[in-house]
Amino acid sequence: MSMHDQPPSGTDEFIKGIWKENPVFVQALGMCPVLAVTNTAMNAIAMGLATMFVLVMSNITVSTLRRVIPRQVRIATYILIIATFVTIVEYVIQAISLDLHKALGAFISLIVVNCLILGRAEAFASKNTVVRSALDGLGSGIGFVFALFCLGAVREIFGAGELFGVELFHDGFQDWVVMVLPSGGFFTLAAWLLVFNALRQRREAAQAREVAI
């Protein structure tokens, strides 16, 4: 695919989900896992990867079947497809590590109702080719993992004085317990949204200046 094509290139489909249309920081989608299981960097990444797998697989399946699924029954069918991949992820995580499964708890099953996934299936995969849908899912998925990691890392550093379980500060560090509690998720998300909105405003201002010149 070349950059001269009228529809955006595959690379664009891939990149947009990571930054410009980041599911968490720009679209504010899928807030339940974002707030609930980002108390450590490891949990955040595991949750992100699980979501990414479901997102990519459901995008591919929905796109493959887009000509045989009538729109009257599309929501029911999409949800069935998504639920199937979530169930698979749940068993695989249980097979990999029981501790990880315990840490993520009910939130693995709740990937079924992550609006990011049904959103991509409905808005993108049902109208685009398999390759583009896979790239779109991969991009949004990486954007989601990135966002969850941003939250998980900050919360683990302040809440436990560690990153990936590695002690960061000397013994005098007093853990900010609030950061690993649910309220810490809201504080951290708000702080990151501030950062991302400030970055966007600065970029838009720069673009406006360029146009003016």
Nearer to another protein, 3 or 95 (CB): 95
Q: Rule CB under 8 A: say whether 167 interacts with another protein.
A: no
Tally of CB atoms within 10 A around 6: 4
Q: Which of residues 49-68 bind another protein (CB under 8 A)?
A: 65-68
Give yes or no for residue 81 binding another protein (CB under 8 A). yes
Minimum CB separation of residue 201 from another protein in Å reads 30
Alpha helices in 97-181, H assignment, sequence order:
98-104, 115-123, 130-160, 177-180
Query: Shortest Cβ distance from residue 75 to another protein (Å)?
Result: 11
CA atoms of 93 and 97, how far apart (whole Å): 6
| Interface size with another protein, residues (CB under 8 A) | 31
| Cα 116 to Cα 29: distance, rounded to the nearest angstrom | 6
Which is it for the CA torsion 143, 147, 153, 154, positive or negative?
positive
Identify the residue among 28, 32, 76, 131 touching another protein (CB under 8 A). Answer: 76
**Among 28, 32, 80, 194, which residue interacts with another protein (rule: CB under 8 A)?**
80
At 162, which helix (H) or strand (E)?
A: strand 162-163
Q: Kindly tell me which of 97 and 197 has the beta carbon lying closer to another protein.
A: 97
Which of 79, 59, 62, 80 shows the shortest CA–CA distance to 144? 59
The amino acid at 100 = L
Out of 1, 84, 162, 187, name the contact with another protein by CB under 8 A.
84
> Residue 18 or residue 121: which is nearer to another protein going by CB?
121
The C-alpha atoms of residue 152 and residue 34 are separated, in whole angstroms, by 9
Q: Does 190 bind another protein (CB under 8 A)?
A: no
Binding site for another protein (CB under 8 A): 39, 65-73, 76-77, 80-81, 83-84, 87-88, 91-92, 94-95, 97-98, 102, 127, 159, 175, 177, 180-181
